Every structure is written in C-alpha cells, then in structure tokens.
C-alpha cells in the first residue's frame, strides 16, 4: 500500500473543502494512505514571493518541507498553488547555499528539503492505471464532455515543475478518458484565470475568467476540470459576478480533478462535495446519459 504525506494547504482546509473530501475519497478507494502533515503552515501563497517577501516565501514553504523530511513518504499537495510554492522553495534551496544556511538557522537544525513533492495529477497517474479506473468506472460518464483546465501554477515554470508541458499540458487526460467521458481539446487550457487579483483588481479576474468560460461553452464543453482552488473559485464562485459584468447567463460547472474521478467510481455527489460548487452539474442527467 502506497503512503503519502498530505499537505492540504489553507484553501483545502476551508473554502475548498470539497477538494479535500473528494481527494481523500479517491485515495481511499485505491488503497492509498494519506497522512496529513503535522502542524503544517501556509505555503506562502501568491503574495509571498514578492520583494523582501521572496525570502519569506521560501522560508514558509521550507518549514513544511522540513517537517515532511522527517518521514520517508513523498509529499502530495493537491492545491496547485501550494505545490508550486513547495517546488519553488526546493528549487531555490537546492541552488542557493546562503538561503539554505538562513533557513537552517531559523529552523534550528539543518533543513531537510529534498522530499519528493507531487501534485495530484502526477500522484494519481503514478498510483492509478487508466485501465484499472476504466474497469471500475464502466463508462459511467459516457457522453459527458469534460475538458481539463490546467491554468498556470500546475505546469509553470517548466524548469521548476518538470512535469507535463507548460503550454500544452496533457497529463490529466488518460485518467479523465478512463472515466468514460469524452475529453475534447480545450484551447485555453493553460491560460491564466486572473490569479489572486479578485479583491484588489476584480476587473482583471472577471475578464480573464469570462474569456475562459465563454470559450468552453462555445466548444460545447459540459464541465471544466481543474486542480487549482484559485482557478476553481475564480471560474465557479465568481461566475455570477462574471454574468452580471458581461450580461451573460453561463452555467458552466468547474469540477476538481478528484471529483470527476470520484463520480466515475460511483461515489455520490454528496460524498464528493459536488453540492459545494456554486454552479452544480446535473449529475443525474450525466449518469443517466451513460446508462
């Protein structure tokens, strides 16, 4: 049985609880053991990598790497933002001795930063063979058009992430196909949703996210599938604001990767926190379509 240290991060612990719930469910279904990282702290998230805060971002992430380094298991961070910060810190620590020294000084011992860090896509691709998923899914999502939306933090910058293509990522596809769903090409799959500007510069987020939703609807996509809580919230929670700003009436569900897989496994929408999405998909219709 595979074992992972699990870094939920602030979003999965609060506003994106459905991502946490569905991720744990999928892990359980495939016999993967998740041990929540003890006393983890905020990864530093978006504002931390700026200016003096550049060092702060590394130190915050490093404390988590250090805790994980005490164990043997690799670290999985389903939130694309947290994953990006953890990988970034690792990259910097690897290359900068002075930063390593500073970090060790704050932690009071030699920093352990080399634990393998995985995002949800890499981890599930490693643990679940598409064939095994397909066998259990029995084409449950047949006829549903699910398009992966990767955004930025999951795949960029390539020299830090080193997994999937930064411009034309594809690694969600094999498992999504195994659910029985149709997985069309989505041209804007690695465009930016507007990032963390939702409070300070809302018009940026509304415009960027509107563009993505509009393109998905035009392509006849039933739902987007993401691995990033920030993208999910910009596209889903703010969809009402987008509709008001642009005079549109889109109702495009934006699911987490683990929710899509969970549905294919036959888990109920409640177990997967589907009802926590602002725009809820009509799951019954999806499942009936396949039956």
Partner 1 sequence: MIEAAKTIRAGEEMLAEIERRSGQDVSSCYQCGTCSSTCTATLAFDYPPHLFMRLLQLGLVERALASRTAQMCYDCMTCSSRCPVGIDVADVIETTKNIADESGRSRPPKEVALFRRLFLRNVCRHGRLHEAGLLAWYNIKSGQFFNDLSLVPLVLRKKKVHLVPPRIRQRRELRRIFRQAKTKPGAK
CB of 174 to partner 1, least distance (A): 22
CB of 278 to partner 1, least distance (A): 6
Q: Which stretch binds partner 1 (CB under 8 A): 27-35, 68-76, 185-193, 256-264?
A: 185-193
Q: How far apart are the first and last CA of the chain?
A: 33
For partner 1, which residue of 123, 192, 224, 255 counts as binding (CB under 8 A)?
192
Helix 53-69 vs helix 80-95: crossing angle, to nearest 10? 90
For partner 1, which residue of 2, 29, 30, 56 counts as binding (CB under 8 A)?
56
Helix and strand tally (H, E) in the chain? Answer: 14, 7
Q: How many residues bind partner 1 (CB under 8 A)?
A: 67
Task: Using only the alpha carbons of the chain, give its radius of gyration.
Answer: 19
CB of 214 to partner 1, least distance (A): 13
Q: Does 287 bind partner 1 (CB under 8 A)?
A: no
For partner 1, which residue of 24, 85, 156, 189 counts as binding (CB under 8 A)?
156
For partner 1, which residue of 55, 142, 187, 217 counts as binding (CB under 8 A)?
55
Residues 109-148 that bind partner 1 (CB under 8 A): none
**Whole-angstrom Cα distance, residue 10 to residue 47?**
14
Contact between 259 and 26 (Cβ < 8 Å): no
Q: Where are the alpha helices (DSSP H) in the chain?
A: 9-13, 17-29, 53-69, 80-95, 97-107, 120-127, 130-137, 158-161, 173-178, 202-218, 229-232, 239-246, 257-264, 283-290
Residue 180: what are its φ and ψ, rounded to 5°?
100, -15
Residues 216-275 that bind partner 1 (CB under 8 A): 237-238, 240-241, 275
For partner 1, which residue of 193, 261, 264, 272 counts as binding (CB under 8 A)?
193
For partner 1, which residue of 152, 178, 183, 252 counts as binding (CB under 8 A)?
152
Strands 146-148 and 75-76, sheet pairing: unpaired
Residue 226: what are its φ and ψ, rounded to 5°?
-130, 165
Q: Does 198 bind partner 1 (CB under 8 A)?
A: yes
Torsion of CA 130, 139, 17, 255, to 10 degrees: 100
Interface residues toward partner 1, by CB under 8 A: 10-11, 13-17, 39-42, 44-56, 59-60, 63, 96, 98-99, 102, 105-107, 152, 155-158, 166-167, 190-204, 207-208, 211, 237-238, 240-241, 275-278
């Amino acid at each position: 049985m595979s074992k992972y240290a699990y870094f939920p991060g602030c979003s999965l612990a609060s506003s994106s609880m459905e991502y946490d719930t569905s991720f744990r469910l999928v892990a359980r279904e495939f016999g993967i053991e998740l041990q929540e990282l003890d006393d983890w702290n905020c990864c530093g998230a978006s504002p931390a990598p700026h200016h003096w805060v550049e060092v702060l971002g590394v130190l915050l992430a490093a404390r988590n790497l250090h805790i994980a380094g005490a164990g043997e298991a690799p670290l999985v961070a389903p939130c694309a933002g947290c994953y990006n910060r953890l990988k970034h810190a690792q990259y910097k620590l690897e290359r900068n001795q002075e930063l390593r020294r500073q970090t060790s000084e704050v932690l009071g011992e030699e920093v352990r930063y080399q634990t393998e860090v995985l995002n949800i896509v890499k981890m599930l691709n490693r643990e679940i063979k598409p064939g095994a998923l397909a066998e259990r899914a029995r084409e449950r999502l047949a006829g549903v058009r699910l398009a992966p939306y990767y955004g930025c933090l999951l795949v960029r910058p390539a020299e830090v992430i080193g997994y999937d293509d930064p411009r034309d990522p594809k690694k969600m596809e094999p498992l999504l196909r195994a659910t029985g769903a149709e997985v069309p090409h989505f041209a804007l799959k690695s465009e930016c949703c507007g990032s963390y500007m939702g409070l300070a510069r809302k018009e940026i987020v509304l415009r960027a996210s509107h563009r993505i939703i509009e393109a998905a609807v035009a392509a006849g996509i039933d739902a987007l599938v993401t691995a990033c809580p920030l993208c999910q919230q910009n596209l889903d929670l703010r969809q009402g604001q987008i509709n008001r700003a642009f005079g549109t009436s889109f109702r495009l569900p934006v699911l987490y990767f683990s929710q899509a897989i969970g549905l294919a496994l036959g888990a109920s929408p409640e177990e997967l926190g589907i009802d926590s999405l602002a725009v809820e998909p009509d799951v019954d219709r999806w499942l009936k379509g396949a039956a």
